[in-house]
Chain A
Amino acid sequence: MSTITPDTKLDIGHNDDPSSNYLTCSSGFLSWAFTLDHKRIGVMYLVGIFTSFFLGGLFALLLRIHLLMPNGLFPETWVNMNTYNQLFTLHGAVMTFLFIIPSVPAALGNFVLPLMVGAKDVAFPRMNLASFHLWVIGAIFFLIALFTTGLDTGWTFYTPYSIETQTNVIAATIGAFILGFSSIFTGLNFIVTVNTMRPPGMSWFKMPLFMWAIYATAIIQILATPVLGITLLLLMAERLLGIGVFDPSMGGDPVLYQHFFWFYSHPAVYIMILPAMGIMSELMSVYSRKPIFGYTFIAYSSIAIALLGFLVWGHHMFVSGQSPMAAVIFSGLTFSVSIPSAIKVFNWLATMYKGNINLATPMCYALSFIFLFAIGGLTGLFLGALATDIHLHDTYFVVAHFHYVMMGGTVIAFVGGLYHWWPKMFGVMYNEAWGRFFCLVVFIGFNLTFFPQFIMGSRGMPRRYATYDPEYQIFHQLSTLGAIVLGLGMVGAVAVLVWSLFNGRKAPANPWGAATLEWTCTSPPPFYNFEHAPHVGSPYDYSQLKYDPQVGGYVKDPNAKPASDHH
């Protein structure tokens, strides 16, 4: 299925020198911009999404600083209510559409997945490149919105406000529409890659769990994203042509818009969290040196979450005036999704039992994930229960909840995964002490930022407010202080990685002793990933590997007995 042959590749000036790797085999802007190599595409995605992350983060810091005072800290002429509304909108839109949705699948997934199946590339390398180019074009439309009249609808674009606002809704929705295609391309590619390119010996239940997670995510990407596309097209048509589907003044229905929007956007939160769960399964197992506990359950539950996730969108609309019957059904279904997520947490914990736990930086992030995701998931119970959601809906409680899940969950797992695969990606080891230190700073900053928001939310502080009652001030101040700590922590965490590029010790092929295939090639991988087709073993069997101080990493133990089945 892979169409990569030496004749088809576009990589300019590529050389076949065996000592060169994918980073050094060719150089120049074009050799990157038009590469078909999944690894380079993954790296470009990484740069792109980190840029977005820091842009979104900058907006977030401005917001938080503004909220230090009940009437806003900055003078009216700098940040008035209008500016504030644009800041939270762009923060949300950039973080969701440009950063978190592509983060794990498109950046890490792109790099890791083909290596995990021992393949030379994904099934459709050109489509993969197109998905990145679409991402760039989508991002440009967001920048156009940002630098023209801005955008002040909230990332949800709720009608009828989004129909009548004077800001650049069209540019932003075109951007999101294009990003949708980017996401579909990625998903499609991964599904075909997993279905058709697994090496002999890698049956479904011998796949690493990260692959299961990416596969489940891809299903959502290709099924849900078109709904967003249609919704956005209808919204554009509404604004430009006044077709009257969502506009109540023409007999349209704004609640219908919400149904359409959440039909995509709730599954989208699983696009964000499932790959993160996949990373967790890898990290917990590798750094505990134990086969993952309950492999089959984790694998099936990824698919279950992906499918059940399509049935719960109505929980965003409990107070929208939908019928009480609908509300009750959606509430019930919502709880059904919480169970597989909860059980995964128990599985990860059980994996540590009797292990040999290596507190390397990725494991620190993994532990941090469990702590934060537990809070995020448990506070979902308050929102899934109807009586309590009525009070908490659209308050800071919700803001805290989804940040615990999306940032505390997905972003933390993503950074953990990045640290884990970093030696593979760039062939260098980072400084462990600093890596762990900034993990701690992020953890502390995170809790300080978002925990007070649960309290002010349950005390009634609505979200999306530029000014507020003085009774909430203390919580806002704690939260802002936390945000600054968190910001410094994130900058530090990235700086540790960047620093290692220039000063890091050279990485061995398998620094952590992981048993998945990507660790069998050199670090960084050669252009074609593997010199010899790798031998497929059990992805969680560590008995075959032993530490070799001379290499500074793990090598195959010549005395090891052949692996027994891992489950």
Chain B
Amino acid sequence: MQSILADTMFFPPERSSVAGSVDGLFDFIYYLSAIFFVGIVFAMVYFVLRYYQRPGHKEEPSPSHHEVLEITWSVIPSLLVGVIFFYGFTGYLNMREAPENAYEINVRASKWNWLFVYPNGAESDELHIPVDRPVKFLLQSGDVLHSFYIPAFRIKMDCVPGRYTSTWVIATDTTEAPDPNDENAKDGHLPMNLFCAEYCGEKHSAMRAKVFVHEPGEFDVWVEKAANILEGRSPAEAGEILFKRKGCAQCHSIEGDMSAKYAGPPLNGQWGTERKVTARGTTETVVMDENYVRESIRQPNAKIVEGRKPGMTVFTPQLLKDDEITAIIAYLKSLK
């Protein structure tokens, strides 16, 4: 549904599948209010002109109440607000529940920036999404209340510390700039605004981000590239980021902590050292080298360090590419 007011002063352009119905309801209330407002002001002005105190004018008796009139003007507005309420809440329910197959993006709000984390591990501080595909935002806050607001999509949801909230959208248009030489364009796009709508302290009004909507093919390329941490970094630096982001750091200490807090053995200062492991029931000694590390990532249960239980995630090539393993190895080598 295209709103009649959409291209007027009242709205930013509609860029999501729900925007049309929101604006449609807005239009409905708007025209209804306009009718009532004009009626009220007209009656008021008319009475003033007709009955104002001028020489010789006197008030005339009139009923001081009138049941039929009073019931009419109570019932009609009640019915009308009933209609508004109904469309308000049905529209809202559509906005709350994301479809099952939605592409899920984690949104982390903190003072005063936005971090978007994509399913393949890519992270960005600008929001990139594909067009025509349901995208679900799982919202989190690292400190105080923030609110995730994209006016062109007509969506908003608070980010509450200590719990998850969510919202979703289907973008209907890409943000590709019609004219690639447009001076406002960035990477060929005219991005939309994302605001923090809940007051969150000093730089609240600076907590804005840009939203890019891509063609699906272009989006896939973008996320792949964003997830590729190897480019432009030394292998050890990239390895450190991957070590944290892929979850290694959850089970392996890099400070020599042997305690049960960490399910796996510590990994610092281990390069080139020997350890006893159990491989298919037999005990053998291995050296921590490239091949051992690679095997421990791809087939973690092949060799278990004595005293530890099997249970590490199997990192298939989809989860971690060979190049990335190489970077992690470089990082482990650097750990003293």
A255: B residues at CB distance < 8 A: 160
B73: A residues at CB distance < 8 A: 343, 346
| Contact in complex: A460, B193 (CB < 8 Å) | yes
Select the residue from B65, B151, B200 with max chain A CB neighbours within 10 A.
Answer: B65
A291: B residues at CB distance < 8 A: 64
A354 touches B (CB below 8 Å)? yes
Select the residue from B18, B36, B62, B145 with max chain A CB neighbours within 10 A.
Answer: B145
B82 to chain A, nearest CB (A): 7
| Contact in complex: B22, A390 (CB < 8 Å) | yes
A158: B residues at CB distance < 8 A: 145, 198-199
**B92 partner, pick from A328, A352, A455, beta carbons under 8 A:** A328
Select the residue from B12, B60, B62, B200 with max chain A CB neighbours within 10 A.
Answer: B62
B95 touches A (CB below 8 Å)? yes
* B-binding residues in A (CB < 8 A): 81-82, 84-85, 152, 154, 158, 160-161, 164-165, 248-249, 251-255, 288-297, 319-321, 324, 327-328, 331-332, 335, 338-339, 342-343, 345-346, 349-350, 352-359, 367, 370-371, 374-375, 378-379, 381-382, 384-391, 393-395, 455, 458-460, 462-469, 540, 542, 566-567
| Contact in complex: B60, A354 (CB < 8 Å) | yes
Nearest residue, chain B, Cβ from A162: B144
**A248 partner, pick from B21, B96, B147, B162, beta carbons under 8 A:** B162
Q: A158-B145, A381-B81 are in contact. Are A370 and B157 (CB under 8 A)?
A: no
| Contact in complex: B85, A469 (CB < 8 Å) | no
| Contact in complex: B157, A567 (CB < 8 Å) | no
B314 touches A (CB below 8 Å)? no
**A354 partner, pick from B43, B62, B156, B205, beta carbons under 8 A:** B62
Q: How far is the CA of A542 from the CA of B163 in the complex (A)?
A: 63
Nearest residue, chain B, Cβ from A289: B59
A567: B residues at CB distance < 8 A: 64-65
Q: Name B153-170 residues within 8 Å CB distance of A.
A: 154-158, 160-163, 165
B292 touches A (CB below 8 Å)? no
Q: How far is the CA of A386 from the CA of B145 in the complex (A)?
A: 21
26 pairs, A vs B, C-beta closer than 8 Å: A85-B202, A248-B163, A249-B162, A251-B162, A252-B162, A254-B161, A290-B59, A294-B70, A327-B89, A349-B40, A354-B51, A355-B59, A356-B58, A374-B36, A374-B40, A384-B81, A384-B85, A384-B88, A393-B197, A459-B10, A460-B149, A460-B151, A462-B149, A465-B204, A466-B204, A468-B205
| Contact in complex: B70, A343 (CB < 8 Å) | yes
**B33 partner, pick from A161, A251, A381, beta carbons under 8 A:** A381
B334 to chain A, nearest CB (A): 34
B197: A residues at CB distance < 8 A: 393-395, 462-463
Q: How far is the CA of A338 from the CA of B32 in the complex (A)?
A: 15
Q: How far is the CA of A293 from the CA of B206 in the complex (A)?
A: 52
Nearest residue, chain A, Cβ from B144: A161
Nearest residue, chain A, Cβ from B75: A339
Q: A160-B144, A321-B157, A387-B95 are in contact. Are A353 and B62 (CB under 8 A)?
A: yes
| Contact in complex: B44, A370 (CB < 8 Å) | yes
B89 to chain A, nearest CB (A): 5
Q: How far is the CA of A384 from the CA of B203 in the complex (A)?
A: 30
B62: A residues at CB distance < 8 A: 290, 353-354
Nearest residue, chain A, Cβ from B154: A391
Q: How far is the CA of A371 from the CA of B36 in the complex (A)?
A: 11
Select the residue from A253, A345, A460 with max chain B CB neighbours within 10 A.
Answer: A460
